[in-house]
């Protein structure tokens, strides 16, 4: 009984800290624009990009060191999630639509 309570308490603390220290940030793509130009996140956060357009997008996440994370083709209606695992500034763009750009700052 006591052990069970301790386990449940530990489980709750793990879950609660997960909620406090990482979050999902939603970014939409509509009219071939990102819904925000600048986003500040915490390291460990995820970002979910939704494609509300009727065209395919292809998001790239580039860090300041020149590393590129190509998230691949994203069809209309699809959502994809990426995790930011280190601090720094990221330039986000779409390979298909060069005008689609935004920045993410991870702290």
Q: Which is nearer to Cu ion, 22 or 35 (CB)?
A: 35
Residue carrying the six token digits 């357009």: 53
Q: Which residues lie across from 81 on neighbouring strands?
A: 48
Q: Which stretch binds Cu ion (CB under 5 A): 14-22, 44-52, 81-89, 97-105?
A: 97-105
Q: Which stretch binds Cu ion (CB under 5 A): 3-11, 20-28, 66-74, 98-106?
A: 98-106
CB of 87 to Cu ion, least distance (A): 27
Single out the residue of 94, 102, 104, 106 in contact with Cu ion (rule: CB under 5 A).
94
Rounded Cα distance between 72 and 15, Å, is: 31
Rounded Cα distance between 64 and 24, Å, is: 22
**Does 61 engage in binding with Cu ion (CB under 5 A)?**
no
CA dihedral 25, 84, 62, 66 (to 10 degrees): 160
**Does 97 engage in binding with Cu ion (CB under 5 A)?**
yes
**Does 96 engage in binding with Cu ion (CB under 5 A)?**
yes
Q: Which positions ≥6 away from 77 have C-beta within 8 Å?
A: 51, 52
Q: Which is nearer to Cu ion, 50 or 57 (CB)?
A: 57
What are the φ and ψ backbone dihedral angles of 13, each rounded to 5 degrees? -65, -40
| Interacting residues with Cu ion (CB under 5 A) | 57, 94, 96-97, 100
């Amino acid at each position: 009984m006591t052990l069970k309570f301790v386990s449940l308490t530990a489980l709750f603390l793990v879950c609660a800290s997960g909620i406090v220290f990482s979050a999902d940030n939603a970014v939409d793509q509509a009219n071939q624009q990102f819904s925000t130009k600048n986003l500040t996140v915490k390291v460990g956060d995820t970002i979910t990009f939704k494609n509300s357009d009727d065209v395919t997008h292809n998001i790239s996440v580039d860090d300041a060191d020149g590393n590129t994370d190509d998230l691949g083709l994203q069809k209309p209606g699809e959502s994809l999630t990426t995790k930011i695992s280190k601090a720094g500034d990221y330039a986000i763009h779409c390979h298909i639509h060069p005008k689609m750009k935004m920045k993410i700052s991870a702290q």
